[in-house]
Amino acid sequence: MTILLADDDPITLDSLRACLEPEGFTALAARHGGEALALWEKHRPDLLCLDIMMPQVDGYEVCRRVRAADAQVPVLFLSAKSEEIDVVVGLQLGADDFIRKPFGKHELLARIRAALRRVHARSNGVRSFAMHDLVVYPRELRAERAGATIDLSPREAGILELLHEKTGQVVDRDTLLNRCWGMDYFPESRTLDQHIAKLRKRIEPDPGNPTIIETVRGVGYRYRAA
């Protein structure tokens, strides 16, 4: 999933990218409102995070123009402006959320996931699949078991989606890396294993004896429906 970040502070942009990219999001960075609009037109990202005070075109105007063309894409304001009127104006222009600076990484990720869930829940194309007793909603970046929600990163959702697509087949490491990290990404040899281990702790009833993500030694991983 692609997120457009617009802020005139390069340090803030770097911090946002460092927060989002390890989670599997693709981050597009804009230093002013004009650049943000150009990137939005070219890439049509899945979500926008906008500062308010920016050169050329401010965040409010970016939101207004985007909303005139797309009523669904989530828009979040990230701003040090915290007066009630600032929040009200942003929401009246169609923003989905308003996050006051400074904010923490976990708050930002939670707000982004919540906004993505809302927009996909409103659409008719919500797609889910079951892996034993786990129901996965990849476009909403979540899974459910017995009514409990498990947050997923884009890479985690991608891993589960690929394994489900290839049910019963062994998915080799290169295929997983190319699909979930990208052809131009060369992670360390243990990156995939570390992600799988972390994911198992959250989705497997017994992570020590996994039934959803099986290891096929020397090759890759597999999901078996039965």
Give pLDDT tens digits for 68-108. Answer: 898 889 999 998 876 778 888 888 888 888 888 888 999 99
- Interval 164-182: pLDDT, tens: 999 999 999 889 888 887 6
Sort 5 into a burial class: Cβ within 10 Å, 0-12 / 13-18 / 19+: buried
The CATH code of domain 129-222 reads 1.10.10.10
DSSP 8-state code for residue 22: G
Greater confidence, 15 or 189?
Answer: 15
pLDDT surpasses 70 at 161: yes
Task: Look at residue 199 in the predicted model and tell me its pLDDT.
Answer: 95
Average pLDDT across the chain, whole number:
89
Whether the pLDDT of residue 112 is over 80: the answer is: yes
Alpha helix (H) residue ranges in 44-190 = 59-69, 84-92, 105-122, 154-165, 173-180
Residue identified by tokens 């989606």 is 161
Tell me the C-alpha to C-alpha distance, in Å, between residue 116 and each of 67, 76, 105, 192: 16, 11, 17, 25
2-122 shares its CATH topology with 129-222: no
Residue 157 confidence (pLDDT) above 60: yes
Question: 37-51, 84-98, 120-134, 190-204: which has the minimum mean pLDDT?
Answer: 120-134
Output the pLDDT for position 217. 92
Q: What does the CA dihedral 146, 147, 151, 156 come to, rounded to 10 degrees?
A: 40
Which of helix, strand or coil describes residue 54? coil
Sequence spans of domains, the chain: 2-122, 129-222
Q: Are 149 and 161 spatial neighbours (Cβ–Cβ below 8 Å)?
A: no
Q: In the structure, what pLDDT confidence band is assigned to residue 121 with cuts at 50, 70 and 90?
A: low
pTM, two decimal places: 0.72
**What was the pLDDT predicted at 185?**
55
Provide the pLDDT for residue 46: 92
Determine the CATH number of domain 2-122: 3.40.50.2300
pLDDT tens digit sequence for 1-49 = 899 999 999 999 999 999 999 888 999 999 999 999 999 999 999 999 9
Q: Say what percent of the chain tops pLDDT 70.
A: 93
